[in-house]
Structure 1
C-alpha cells in the first residue's frame, strides 16, 4: 500500500463529504474525542475511515488525487 499522506485535514473532509470546511473541523474534533486523542494529535486516514464508515481505500484515493 502506497501512503501519500498519513493525516487528514478539514479540507480533505470537505472534498470527501461535500460538506463545509467548518464541518470538517468539527468532525476532526469529534474523532479525536472518540479515539481519546489530545488536541495537538493528528487523525490518520485509517481512523477517519473507521469513524466515518467510508472504506479506507476510498479515503486514500481522495488523498492521492489531492496531493
Structure 2
C-alpha cells in the first residue's frame, strides 16, 4: 500500500512499517536482478540457481559490514 498524499482531505489508514518492509524487499530484488545470471536464469536446475542466489545475496550484504578506511 502506498501512503496517501499529505494534502488529502480524508487521509487513508496506512501501515508505515509494512510499507517500509515491502519497499526494502522490492529494492533487494531489483539489486539481485542487476546480476545477469539471475535475471535471465541461466541455471536451469533449482539447486544451482538457489546456490548462486545465495552467493549474490551475500555479495550484496557483506560490504555493509566491512569498514572502509
Alignment TM-score, normalising by the size of structure 1: 0.34
Q: Which has the higher helix share?
A: 1
Between 1 and 2, higher relative CO (CA 8 Å, sep ≥ 6) is seen in 1
Larger radius of gyration: 2
